[in-house]
Chain A
């Protein structure tokens, strides 16, 4: 494909990109703050995964296998960051669960570490001292909450209260639908009696 100028790039002395304009079709490295979220138990069982960058199913299981191998083998009292394939993985262990988030190398690690803690606090508030079993039996709830916290790999809401309010509103909606359904089936049942 002929282009006189394929792309325009402005980079500062510090290596920061100031301007990019692509005229040829280049595939770019996925730009996302958090590439994926991963919850693994100490036994290496996956408890939750959420992918913000496109990974195929095959890549997903490979990533999980590789990362849980690295993270589970790290001793205590080490730092919470791992460098992995050009990315950084921020992880933190809560009881028997490891919460991991994958970010770009240049990103702020501590910030992400606190997003993890923020998420755990919200889970804790929702379930009332959360434990691994809560997440096994109600893994869909964990997804709902995560979706209220992160979208597109970016933090959406930093207030615990707001998230809690939204989740309980959702629960009410589901309950209402259920009641409605059961009342309809009652009516049908009574009508057919």
Chain B
């Protein structure tokens, strides 16, 4: 033992060198080489273990000695035991295997008689106890907590220990038996035990408030007792405040109860809260100040939670307003934070807006924490009315903000600009400025988005092009700016041709200047731009051609494949004349989709606060930008009534778009999808667009105003809203398609877009207000059938004029059924109330997945399905006569794949598909149709699958489809089956509309 003499210093460290000496010693003693047994004196044992902890604390890897620390727990004497417990609880975490070894010893200490040992054991379990402990120790700990013979010292530890065990395993506490006990515990006089018990209560009610509702009045009692300073021993006051921590905890617990029903409890609670709100002054002593404000802020959130009377609420806002202008940074920080919380709760936004300038000042605070809060608050309070100011502030701040914040800042500015842009040119301005000021932090998403908007809004194109041109004049511009301007000028540079400095050759030379400075990914964009410039130059400009060709030639041998390919292809194409024009035609419009930025923001900030902001954001017109320039097109009635022209027409640049009006909206046009989001984007036909058409919103929108209100006499409580198109037809069309219009009347258009994957579906409802007045009291309610799980995101109460809101609808198929979900929809325009019951096209065939089988795959399966109820056969009469290929198309259209050539008889069809639902999983379905060439109105069909219900439902479904083929384009189909209402009937009024038999039927189901 001689060698260990060097470590006789009691747990201290003198000079840096010692670490090495004694870590070596400790490692030798504890390193599992059998030396530990030779460490005989308890003092030395203790010492080594402490040193190990110290080494660990300094951040060095301590992989030895855990066993020894744990073994000290079972020492008989207090000093060793104490060291064992504390070192173990610091060194190990709950998932460590060694802890399991200690469970028995710990349990013995807990149920033993020795109070000090009990305390040590409870502390250990409370700090690092895991699931194993929860299972074996919870009853013992509960017993200690409620035992009257235990001293407060033990009981308060037991309370927190139980809290830990409950967190690890909520079943550790049996709700039924414990609720009464918990209530009794809150009568405790000792404030130490009471504090711990209240912590336990907070955890319990956060999990299940109903069971503990009897604790609610007790919490209020505790608060009253503290607020009146009754029966509070001196030692429990903190700077003169009766246990601020207990007050905070009690109020925290109250926030988990949804409301307080008992009037007298409510009254006394509000008295206490009033007292806290009024009686908290700013004092000199920092600690007293902090403690009293801790209580005050908790009271504030309790008031917010309880939705107190207006008076109290405005008192709170006033207080917060005071806080955000004080000098003390903590208070200012919390003021901003709580104001952000307040934003989501009540309609105090207007009051908060009064503080906007103060909040903007906080954006320039030296403290990053405060700036972050201010940024969050500004982001949250931004709406159409103040977007311009706020975004401009953010842009200004961007140049001085530190790097860690710039990315968030630029993302937020971009989102706000997108969400609340009063007009599109402003949006383009903002994004270009953003790229200019903080190019490094502008992710690709942001510039992709601006390009999308410019592409989709023709009136914006000349403006964007001229802006991009301006930025190119700057001496040093960011590479992202080069990308954007190159792209925009390539596409729309020709629109500027008449302006000075914007001829194709000038554009080329100014862009080409940038080429040496950019990195490889940008060069392809530039090459495309050159090619497009060349294409737009009519008549051909031999000089420019020569220059561009030289560039292409140069890159023909570039090492980067992308660049090389483009250079070669463009070079060849550019010699081809007409083909060149086609290939390089203007980019088609982008399909509208959820902004990738907003999606990104959702990922980045997935916290409670943020998601509430999101929630609020959803209630705002989320697509402010889709709402294009509302300038009327030459005084004509807005082209809304005509389902807007298919984009393909607008896409091919040369073609005029006059053909649009006679295209049936229900015709399965492949472009309807992209059309869907833009039905309200009143696009001026390309021919009308002049370069000046980018004035702010609202200029000259007068002829528009006539539209909506002129049809209906004002003040009349009418129902005579004319439905455009046929609801039933639209529904049936949508059963076979994934996007289209579900409902339309003069004021609103409801579009739907769906994606299906397995038994899940995601639909988005697009509610577009076509009128110039806001639609109010908008309500959408889903009446789901038993087999579907539907979840509709909240629809905003009001849809602003000419805005479109989106409302996602999640669908999950639980089991096969032909029932249909119904959307109960209503809104108010002025005094007119309009309601409609609409069937949601989430029908059986949407959960099918096409599947083509070969004969080797098909027949074994077919034979395996032996007969009813798995395989059903039926002779169907009264079928609409269809030629075989036509029938095959019909089957394919509802995703039942025809497998040609399987059946030897050419008059028969064999089909297969996969059905998805939660109960059946993926289920193979097979079908065979035998037709009679002599009588096409009858056939025999056999349907089989592994699930009897599915077989039946699928058979019925196919039968319905065969008997009546309800396609919009085939208006004259005889309505043979009850399932499909006469497609021509135009419900003249909403009353009749509610009587729509299909909808009623679906509603009943």
Report which A residues bind B (CB closer than 8 A). Answer: 4, 12-20, 31-33, 45-52, 54-57, 60-61, 64-65, 75, 77-83, 86, 105-106, 108-111, 113-115, 117-118, 136-140, 143-144, 147, 151-152, 154-162, 166, 169-170, 173-174, 177-178, 181
Contacts and interface: CB of A to CB of B under 8 A. Distances in A.
B608 A106 contact: yes
Contacts of A56: 93
A42 B537 CA distance: 68
A17 B206 contact: yes
Contacts of B153: 166
B839 interface: no
Contact of A174 (B12, B59, B78, B207): B78
Given A136-B13, A156-B195, A110 B294 contact: yes
A57 B298 CA distance: 35
A173 B116 contact: yes
Nearest to A22: B170
A164 B668 CA distance: 81
Give the bracket for the number of chain B residues in contact with chain A: 35 or more
10 contacts: A16-B256, A51-B93, A57-B56, A78-B370, A111-B245, A151-B123, A157-B156, A157-B192, A158-B243, A170-B116
A53 B333 CA distance: 27
Contacts of B334: 109-110
Contacts of A151: 122-123, 126-127, 157, 160-161, 164, 196
B12 A136 contact: yes
User: Main SS of the interface on chain A?
Assistant: mixed
Interface in B60-96: 61-62, 77-79, 82-83, 86, 89-90, 93-95
B785 interface: no
Interchain residue pairs A-B with the least CB separation, the first 10 = A110-B294, A79-B329, A151-B126, A54-B93, A152-B164, A151-B160, A78-B367, A159-B235, A111-B294, A154-B199
Interface stretch (B285-293, B380-388, B482-490, B593-601): B285-293
Contacts of B345: 13-14
B297 A139 contact: no
B208 interface: yes
A82 B236 contact: no
Contacts of B203: 31
B94 A18 contact: no
Given A14-B305, A81-B369, A108-B298, 8 more contacts: A15-B344, A64-B59, A78-B369, A79-B332, A105-B609, A147-B123, A151-B196, A181-B42
B516 interface: no
A152 B161 contact: yes
Contact of A15 (B50, B127, B609): B609
A54 to B, nearest CB: 4
A79 B56 CA distance: 31
Interface string B231-254: 001011010000111101000100
Interface string B330-348: 1011100000010011000
B59 A46 contact: yes
B304 interface: yes
B191 interface: yes
A110 B295 CA distance: 9
Interface in B138-196: 153, 156-157, 160-161, 163-164, 167, 191-192, 195-196
A158 B611 contact: no
A137 B79 contact: no
A158 B236 contact: yes
Interface in B317-367: 329-330, 332-334, 341, 344-345, 366-367
Contact of B245 (A13, A79, A155): A155
A82 B506 CA distance: 52
Contacts of B156: 156-157
B656 to A, nearest CB: 51
B57 interface: yes
B263 interface: no
B577 interface: no
B372 interface: yes
A160 B291 contact: no
A140 B57 contact: no
A170 B79 CA distance: 9
Contact of B191 (A49, A105, A159, A170): A159
Contacts of B607: 86, 105
B379 to A, nearest CB: 15
A147 B122 CA distance: 11
Contacts of B246: 158
Contacts of B367: 78-79
A51 B95 CA distance: 13
A13 B794 CA distance: 12
Given A15-B608, A111-B244, A173-B78, A162 B235 contact: yes
A144 B86 contact: yes
B293 A110 contact: yes
Contacts of B207: 19-20
Contacts of A57: 56, 61-62
